[in-house]
Structure 1
Amino acid sequence: MAAPLAALTAGAVVAVLLGAFGKVHDPTLSGTTTLGFRTVIAMKVVLTVVIGVLAVLQVLGALWLYGKLGIAAPRWLGTAHRISGTTALLLSVFVAYHCLWALGLETGRFHDGTPVPVRTVVHGVLGCAVFGAVVVKVVAVRSRRAPGWFLPVAGGVLFALLIAAVLTSAGWYLSTHGWPSTGGY
């Protein structure tokens, strides 16, 4: 149980530190990019949808690799699973940077006195928890002494948190505003 406890502790520290940074940092668009979209938010929505698709593919790939789909996994699947997981992680870091840097972690009231919507608070907390869960999952993947249940539980928790973060951001945006357009269209 040492590996899961150490991983949970490290993950909790990462999540809390990200949340603390998001609370004390003064949000700014300086140092951000839109990647050709009209706004930072539009860029984040598109990348977040990609991250959500990659997360679903990660779960399907893991189920296939562990023989849970009843079909033999091809030899290339392990490599594809690692590449798609790394891609999802890198995109998540990019999106999280833009969330924390441009928006911060808003709770209570905005600077103008209006209340912060519950969805915004939940999304911010979920975003911080995702990166704590990433730490736990990386330890689970790398640990040789962890119990057999640790990796699937860590992966399942990460998936659940990530999908909840996607739904409270990109899912909400798409249902409210539709698909974002690039700056030139």
Structure 2
Amino acid sequence: MGVTQAPPSPPSATARWQWSLAGVAALGLGVAAALAAYADAHPGDGASLLTLWFSGMLQLKAWFTSAALVLVVVQVLSALAMWGRLPGVRGGAPGWVALLHRWSGVVAFLLTLPVAFQCVWSLGFEDEPSRVLVHSVAGCLFYGAFAAKMLALRLPRLPSVVVPLLGATVATLLVVVWFTSALWFFTQPGLPRV
């Protein structure tokens, strides 16, 4: 008589969330790498593609990034309220806080799109000076972290710490992007601000 093998057991819950987490990480790194590779392969000519009511591309980028940063502060505060981590918020946040969180995130993300498009298309990926290298890397990682967070929101079995960590990463990267671009721009003498 032959030995009968037992049917394979279904993957454990731990294995499922580990695979989900690996997928989230792969998506984030893939998006960041694709943006960096495209921006590096496409040396920009510095031409302004979109200025709207601003006098130039740098003005649009600085103001849109600053507006997105203000909305990211709203994101962080509303997330802390939803998780009951704000002092003075007892019994959970009101229902409108979740709506505020979602829509401030949507608007912040939309504000970053023309900025990123101009960075990738008009300027390309630069590694000199170091401020610009940090800006380029942080910008690519921002979109990777954002994509990872959006996927993680839809995966129900991930550990509860994953989404807050990704949200904090997105916020931190936008702060780095702002410090290495908009703050630099606003502190340069002789440049028109609007």
Please state which band the TM-score falls in when normalised by the shorter chain.
0.7 to 0.9
Choose which of 6, 25, 47 in structure 1 pairs with 2:64.
47
Classify the secondary structure of the residue corresponding to 2:157.
coil
Choose which of 77, 88, 109 in structure 2 pairs with 1:89.
109
- Structure 2: distance between partners of 1:178 and 1:83: 36
Classify the secondary structure of the residue corresponding to 2:52.
coil
Q: Is the Cα contact below 8 Å between 1:23 and 1:104 reproduced in 2?
A: yes
Deviations along 1:77-110, whole A, 9 cap, x unmatched? 1111111101111111221011111111012xxx
The corresponding residue for 2:95 is: 75
1:129 aligns with 2:141: yes
- Structure 2: distance between partners of 1:5 and 1:134: 15
Classify the secondary structure of the residue corresponding to 1:3.
helix
Choose which of 99, 102, 116 in structure 1 pairs with 2:122.
102
- Structure 1: distance between partners of 2:56 and 2:121: 14
Q: Please tell me the residue identity of whatever aligns with 2:124.
A: G
- Out of 167-176 and 128-137, give the one that drifted further: 167-176
Deviations along 1:116-174, whole A, 9 cap, x unmatched? 21000110011000011001111122211111111111111111111111111111111
Q: Please tell me the residue identity of whatever aligns with 2:81.
A: W
Q: Please tell me the residue identity of whatever aligns with 1:90.
A: L
Q: Please tell me the residue identity of whatever aligns with 1:83.
A: W
Give the count of matched residue pairs: 174
C-alpha RMSD over aligned residues: 1.7
1:65 aligns with 2:85: no
Deviations along 1:55-89, whole A, 9 cap, x unmatched? 11100000001111131422211111111101111
- Structure 1: distance between partners of 2:190 and 2:181: 12
Query: Structure 2 stretches of 5 or more lacking a match?
Result: 1-17
Q: Is the Cα contact below 8 Å between 1:46 and 1:180 reproduced in 2?
A: no
CA spacing shift, 1:103–1:168, aligned 2, 3 Å = same
The corresponding residue for 2:21 is: 4
- Structure 2: distance between partners of 1:4 and 1:178: 48
The corresponding residue for 2:38 is: 21
1:147 aligns with 2:159: yes
The corresponding residue for 1:120 is: 132
Which runs of structure 2 are paired with 1:169-180 in the superposition (5 Å)?
169-177=181-189, 180=192
- Out of 124-133 and 92-101, give the one that drifted further: 92-101
The corresponding residue for 2:12 is: none
- Structure 2: distance between partners of 1:52 and 1:180: 21
- Structure 1: distance between partners of 2:98 and 2:147: 20
TM-score by length of 1: 0.88
- Structure 2: distance between partners of 1:181 and 1:164: 20
Query: Structure 1 stretches of 5 or more lacking a match?
Result: 108-115
- Structure 2: distance between partners of 1:40 and 1:48: 12
CA spacing shift, 1:58–1:179, aligned 2, 3 Å = farther
